[in-house]
Chain A
Amino acid sequence: MWYSPFAIAVAVLVIAVLFIIFYPLGIIFAEALLPGGQPAFDLWIETFSAPGLIIAVRNTFFIAVSTVAIAVPTGIFFAWLIERTDARWGPLSRLLPVIPLLLPPVALSIGWLFLADPRAGFLTHPVVQGIRALGLDVDPSYVGIQSWGGLVFLYVLWSVPHVYVVAAAAFSALDPSLEEAARICGKGRLKCFFDVSVPAIRHAVGSSALLCVISSIGLYSIPALLGTAARIDVLSVYIYRLIHYSYPPKTGQAVVLGFVVIIVIGSVWLLQRRIASMTGHAEIGGMGIRPNRLVLGGWRWPARVLLLLYVALTSVLPLLALLIVSLQLYWKPQIVWSELSTANFFEFASDPTSRAAIVNSSILAVGTSTTVVLVAGLLAIFARHVGGIGEKWLGVLTKVPSATPHIIFAVGVLIAFGFAPFFLSGTWFIMFLAYLAVFLPSASIAAESAVQQVGNQLTEAARVFGSRPGRTFRRIQLPLIMPGLAAGWALIFALVVGELNSAAILSGPRNPVIGYLILSLFDNGTYSQLAAIGTIIGIVSAVTVSAALLFARPRFGQAARFGGN
C-alpha cells in the first residue's frame, strides 16, 4: 500500500500543502528574528516604540475581551434555546443563528454603516428621536455605529454564530437524561441551564471562547471600515497601515508584529485545541436519541422573538440597507422611493476594474473552493486510514493557518512568494496560494466531519471485498463524503467572494478582487456603489450557503444505516 501510485500522489499533495502553509510562516519568523541574517534589535526597538502601537494593542485587547464576554454567553444561550428547549420550531430553525454567516463581515459592516451612521444612518434618526422622547438627551455619535459600542456590537453580531455552532454541536451530543434528572429533582429551567447544561459543555464553551479571542484579534474588515472614523485603531488595521499607508512600506515592522501576534495567538490556539479535545466522545448511546425538550411554556414565544430579532439585526436589516442604498443615487437617510433605480449596478458593470474584480473573485472563488475541498477531503480520508498519531498530526497541521490572522499570513505570503524567487506579486496565483492555506482549516473541519459520519465500516467492507485504496477512495469514500464536502465548498466560495483580509495585502490594481474593490470604493467615498457590490456579495453568499446547507443533509436513507460503529 505504501508504494501505490495513489499513496505517492497523496504524499506529494501533503508535502505541497505543508509547503504552502509553513513557508510563509517560516519567512515571517525568519524576517522577524534575523532579517538579512542579522539579529533585528533595531527593528524591534523601532516597532515597539512607535506611538500608535500601544493604543492599537490596548484597543484590540479591550474589544476582544468585550466581544468574548458578550458573544459567548449569547451564543451558548441561543444554542441551548434551539437544541434543548422547545423554542425550536422545525428543523429549519436550527439554521437561524447560522444565517449571519451567510453575510460576509464586510457586507455586515457596510450594511450597518448605512443603518447606524450618526449623521446619515437610516435608523439613527428614529432611534435618537425615540430616546429623546423618553426624556434622555443623547449625542448621535454615541449611538452611531462608529463608536466603541457600535464596534463591539458588530464584533459580537459576527462572533455569535461561531460560538453557536460549537455550542449547538456540543448540546446536541449531550445525553438529555442529565437535564431530566435535574428537573426531577425540582430545579427550575434557568437553574437547570446554569447548573447542568452549561457545565456539561464546559469544554465547548472554553474552546469557543478562545476561538472568539483569536478571531477578534485577527478581524480586519469591521475595524477597517468602521473603526477609523471612530478613531479606534486596532492591531490588524495598524499592521495594514504599516504596509499600505507608509512609504516606503514598513514591512519589517509588520513582520515583527505579525511574529508576536502569531506566538500569542498560537499559544491560545494550542490551549483551545487541548480544551476542545477534552470533550468526551459523543455522550449518546445506541441508535439515536430524541432529546426531551425543556418546555418553556410562556417563555417560548419571547425566546423565538429574540432569535428572530437576532437574525434581523445581523442579516436582514443590513442586507436591506445595502439594497436600498444601492438603489439610491447617493447615500442619504431619507428614502425617496421615486428616486430609486438600478443605475449603480449598470455603472458598476461598465467599469473595467469592477468587472475585472468580480470576474477574478468568481473564478478565484470557484478555483479555491474546489481545490481546497478536494485536498481537504483527500487528506481527511488519508488521515483516517493512517490513524493514530499520524491522523492527529495531520489534523493539527491542516488547522495551523487558523492560528494566524489572515492579514498577517497574507504578509507572509507576500514576502515568501511575491518576490524572489517566485515573483508572484500582483498575480491572481499568489491570491490562490494564500486562500488555499487560509481556508484549508475550514475545509478540513468539514471534510473530517464528513469522514467521521461515514464511519469506518463502509470503508473496511470495501477493503475486505478486494478494493484497492484508489478504487475505495473513488467509488466509496468520495461519493459518501460529497454532501459534507459540498457544504464546505459553498461556505468557502462565499467566504472567498467577500474576503477582505488577504485581499487588502495581496490584491491591487493589477489583480483586483472584490475585497480590493470594496476598500477603494470606501476610501473614495462612493457609498452607493459600495452598497451595490455589498448587495451582490450578500445575495451570492446567501444563495450559495443556503444551497450548501440544503445539499449537505444526509441523502441516503436513515442516518442510522450510515456505517454504524
Chain B
Amino acid sequence: MPMERAGCNSGVDQSDSQMSAAPAPERAVEVKALRKAFRSRAGKGHQSVVAVDNVDFTVRKGELVVLLGPSGCGKTTLLRSIAGLEKPDSGEVAIGGRTVFSLTAGIYVPPEDRRIGMMFQSYALWPHMTVYQNVAYPLVSVKGVTREAVRAKVQDVLAGLGVAGLDHRYPGELSGGQQQRVALARALVGSPSLLLFDEPLSNVDAKVRRRLRAQLRELKQQTNFAGVYVTHDQEEAMELADTLAVMEHGKIRQVASSEEVYNRPASVYVADFVGEINLWAAAIESVDERAAVVSTQFARLTIGGVANSVRPGTKGWLVIRPERVNVVPVGSVVSYAVAYRSRGKVLDSIYFGARCEIRVDIGGTEVMAWLSDDDPGRTYPAQGDEVDVLLAEESFQWLCE
C-alpha cells in the first residue's frame, strides 16, 4: 500500500495527524495494531479469515466514531474486541487510558471489568426480567450503591428517554421502539466512559429508525458521551458521526468527518461506498502547477486537485458525484465555467420526490445525475429526451485506487 501512495498522491488529507495530536488521557479508546482472524470450517479444510487486519484506531473523549462498512468488513469484530467479547490475536486496546488488552504484556481484562455500556443489535433485553430489573442490572453489581440510589438513577434515565412508567413490564410486552430505548437506558445508567453500539437500528422500520437516530443525536449533544457505533447504513453513519471511519476487509480506509469523507474520499472504495458516484478509468496526460490534463474514454478534461508529484501516464479514476452533474435542455446558456459539455440521451429517469435520478448516455458512456427541484417551474427530463450534460472542473476528483 505505501508504495502505491508514494507515486500517486491524490492530495487527500489522511487525517492521521488529527489523531496523534490528542494527548493520552483525552482518548476514550485507543487501539493499536489490532489483529483478529477466525478459522472457518466453510467447505473442506480450515481457512483463516482475517476479520481485523492490523488496525490502529482512536476515539477521543466526547467523540462518537462510526465504523461504516459492508458485512464482513470487520467492524463488528473491532467493536467486540474493544468490548472484550472477542479476544484479539495481537495488538493493544486501552480504554480511558487503561490498558485492557495487550498480547505482549499478557493483559486481558474481561468485559465485566471494563465498565462500558453497550447496545446490542437484538437489544439483548433479558426476557425474564422486568424493565426495571433490566436497567438496574449494571448498577446492582457496583459496591456501595444503595437501593434508593439505584431506583433514583433508573427512573431518571428512563424518564430522560421518554419511557418512564414501564418499570414493571416485561420486554416481550414492549414495542420495538420502546425496547430500543430501554436497551439504551441500560447502556447509559452506569454512566460509563464509553458507549458501544452494535448496529442497534438494523432491526427496526425506516420511520422508527429516523426517530431513534434523532433521539441518539440529541442524547449525544446533551451528554457528550464517547462512543463507537457500527453500521452498514451510510445515511445513518453520516447523521450520527462526529468522525466517520470507513472499513473494508478488516482495514480502516479513511477516518475523517462526514463532510471530508464525502467530498474528499481517500479511495474509490470509500467514494463508492459513501454515497453514489460516477467513476471512469482515466490516465494523467500532463500535470502543472494549477491543473492536470486527464483523459478518459469519453473526454480529455482539465481538472484541479492533482499533486505535482504525480507523473504523466499514471492510471487512476476520475470521479464526480451525481448531484454535481448538471443536466440542462439542449442548447441552454449557463453562467459558470464548464469543463465539459456534451449532448446525450436520457436512458432512464426515476422520480424520488426530493430529487430525480437520471442516467444519460453521452456517446457510449453512461453518466448518473441527480436533479433537484430548485426551479418551481421546471420539469424533469423523461426517458428518451435529448439533453446537455455539463460537468464543472471543480466537481471532479482524481483518485488513485
Asked whether B387 is an interface residue with its Cβ less than 8 Å from the other chain, the reply is no
A467 to B118, CA, bound (A): 14
A169 to B36, CA, bound (A): 35
Residue in B117, B124, B141 whose beta carbon sits within 8 Å of that of A457 in the complex: B124
Contact A461 B170 (CB under 8 A): no
* Chain A contacts for B280, CB-based, 8 A: none
Contact B127 A480 (CB under 8 A): yes
* Chain A contacts for B137, CB-based, 8 A: 462, 465, 467
Known: A556-B172, A558-B172, A561-B172. A466 touches B124 (CB 8 A): no
A455 to B122, CA, bound (A): 11
Question: Shortest distance in angstroms between A12's beta carbon and chain B's nearest beta carbon?
Answer: 22
A557 to B131, CA, bound (A): 14
Asked whether A302 is an interface residue with its Cβ less than 8 Å from the other chain, the reply is no
Contact A464 B116 (CB under 8 A): yes
Asked whether A479 is an interface residue with its Cβ less than 8 Å from the other chain, the reply is yes
A487 to B319, CA, bound (A): 62
Asked whether A460 is an interface residue with its Cβ less than 8 Å from the other chain, the reply is yes
A562 to B123, CA, bound (A): 10
Known: A463-B85, A558-B172. A563 touches B142 (CB 8 A): no
Question: Shortest distance in angstroms between B378's beta carbon and chain A's nearest beta carbon?
Answer: 42
Contact A563 B138 (CB under 8 A): no
With CB as the reference atom, state the residue of chain B lying closest to A287.
B203
Asked whether A1 is an interface residue with its Cβ less than 8 Å from the other chain, the reply is yes
Asked whether B253 is an interface residue with its Cβ less than 8 Å from the other chain, the reply is no
A465-480 with Cβ < 8 A to chain B: 465-468, 471, 476, 479-480
Asked whether B112 is an interface residue with its Cβ less than 8 Å from the other chain, the reply is yes
* Chain B contacts for A230, CB-based, 8 A: none
Asked whether B120 is an interface residue with its Cβ less than 8 Å from the other chain, the reply is yes
Asked whether B355 is an interface residue with its Cβ less than 8 Å from the other chain, the reply is no
A490 to B169, CA, bound (A): 31
* Chain B contacts for A465, CB-based, 8 A: 112, 117-118, 137-138, 141, 186, 190
Chain B, 192-226, contact with A by CB distance < 8 Å: what is the 0/1 string?
00001000000100000000000000000000000
Q: How many A-B contacts at CB < 8 Å in the complex? A: 87
Scoring B126, B137, B170 by chain A CB atoms within 10 A of each residue's CB, the highest score goes to B126
Question: Shortest distance in angstroms between B263's beta carbon and chain A's nearest beta carbon?
Answer: 35
* Chain A contacts for B170, CB-based, 8 A: 556-557
Contact A557 B173 (CB under 8 A): yes
A558 to B127, CA, bound (A): 10
A460 to B120, CA, bound (A): 9
Known: A561-B172, A565-B122. A556 touches B128 (CB 8 A): yes
Contact B125 A561 (CB under 8 A): yes
Residue in B112, B126, B203 whose beta carbon sits within 8 Å of that of A463 in the complex: B112
Known: A556-B172, A557-B170. A464 touches B85 (CB 8 A): yes
Known: A557-B170, A561-B172. A460 touches B141 (CB 8 A): no
Chain B, 104-125, contact with A by CB distance < 8 Å: what is the 0/1 string?
0000001111111110111111
With CB as the reference atom, state the residue of chain B lying closest to A480.
B128
Question: Shortest distance in angstroms between B292's beta carbon and chain A's nearest beta carbon?
Answer: 48
A1 to B138, CA, bound (A): 19
Contact A461 B126 (CB under 8 A): yes
* Chain B contacts for A466, CB-based, 8 A: 112-113, 115, 138, 141-142, 190
Asked whether B83 is an interface residue with its Cβ less than 8 Å from the other chain, the reply is yes
Asked whether B322 is an interface residue with its Cβ less than 8 Å from the other chain, the reply is no
* Chain A contacts for B123, CB-based, 8 A: 561
A462 to B126, CA, bound (A): 9
Contact B127 A464 (CB under 8 A): no
Contact B122 A460 (CB under 8 A): no
Asked whether A53 is an interface residue with its Cβ less than 8 Å from the other chain, the reply is no
Known: A464-B116, A465-B137, A466-B142. A561 touches B111 (CB 8 A): no
A517-565 with Cβ < 8 A to chain B: 556-558, 561-565
A282 to B171, CA, bound (A): 26
* Chain A contacts for B113, CB-based, 8 A: 466
Scoring B120, B124, B128, B196 by chain A CB atoms within 10 A of each residue's CB, the highest score goes to B124
Count residues of chain A with CB under 8 A from any CB of chain B: 25
A562 to B117, CA, bound (A): 20
Residue in A1, A461, A557 whose beta carbon sits within 8 Å of that of B110 in the complex: A1
Contact A461 B172 (CB under 8 A): no
Residue in B114, B117, B124, B141 whose beta carbon sits within 8 Å of that of A563 in the complex: B124
With CB as the reference atom, state the residue of chain A lying closest to B113.
A466
* Chain A contacts for B124, CB-based, 8 A: 457-458, 460-461, 563-564
Contact A467 B110 (CB under 8 A): no
A563 to B122, CA, bound (A): 6
A458 to B127, CA, bound (A): 9
Question: Shortest distance in angstroms between A76's beta carbon and chain B's nearest beta carbon?
Answer: 27
Contact B112 A564 (CB under 8 A): no
With CB as the reference atom, state the residue of chain B lying closest to A560.
B122
B85-114 with Cβ < 8 A to chain A: 85, 110-114
Scoring B85, B113, B114, B186 by chain A CB atoms within 10 A of each residue's CB, the highest score goes to B85
A1 to B83, CA, bound (A): 16
Known: A464-B111, A467-B141. A564 touches B190 (CB 8 A): no
* Chain B contacts for A564, CB-based, 8 A: 120-122, 124, 203
With CB as the reference atom, state the residue of chain B lying closest to A465.
B138
A425-467 with Cβ < 8 A to chain B: 455, 457-458, 460-467
* Chain B contacts for A462, CB-based, 8 A: 126, 137
* Chain B contacts for A557, CB-based, 8 A: 127, 170-173
Question: Shortest distance in angstroms between A475's beta carbon and chain B's nearest beta carbon?
Answer: 8
Question: Shortest distance in angstroms between B115's beta carbon and chain A's nearest beta carbon?
Answer: 7
A472 to B203, CA, bound (A): 26
A431 to B138, CA, bound (A): 45
A460 to B170, CA, bound (A): 20
* Chain A contacts for B171, CB-based, 8 A: 556-557, 561
A457 to B259, CA, bound (A): 34
A295 to B137, CA, bound (A): 49
A458 to B138, CA, bound (A): 14
With CB as the reference atom, state the residue of chain B lying closest to A277.
B41
Question: Shortest distance in angstroms between A98's beta carbon and chain B's nearest beta carbon?
Answer: 26
Contact B127 A561 (CB under 8 A): yes
Scoring A457, A458, A466, A467 by chain B CB atoms within 10 A of each residue's CB, the highest score goes to A466
A458 to B126, CA, bound (A): 6
With CB as the reference atom, state the residue of chain B lying closest to A466.
B141
A62-83 with Cβ < 8 A to chain B: none
* Chain A contacts for B110, CB-based, 8 A: 1, 463
Contact B127 A556 (CB under 8 A): yes
* Chain A contacts for B126, CB-based, 8 A: 458, 461-462, 476, 480
A565 to B124, CA, bound (A): 10
* Chain B contacts for A480, CB-based, 8 A: 126-128
A468 to B113, CA, bound (A): 9
Scoring A476, A558, A563 by chain B CB atoms within 10 A of each residue's CB, the highest score goes to A563
Q: What 4 A-B pairs have minimum CB-CB distances, sorted nearest first? A: A557-B172, A564-B122, A556-B127, A461-B124
15 contacts between A and B (CB under 8 A): A462-B137, A464-B111, A464-B112, A464-B116, A465-B112, A465-B141, A466-B141, A466-B142, A467-B112, A468-B112, A556-B128, A556-B171, A561-B122, A561-B171, A564-B120
Q: A463-B110, A561-B125, A564-B124 are in contact. List 11 more A-B contacts (CB 8 A).
A: A460-B85, A461-B120, A464-B196, A465-B118, A465-B137, A465-B138, A466-B190, A480-B126, A557-B127, A563-B124, A564-B120
A residues in contact (CB < 8 Å) with B: 1, 455, 457-458, 460-468, 471, 476, 479-480, 556-558, 561-565
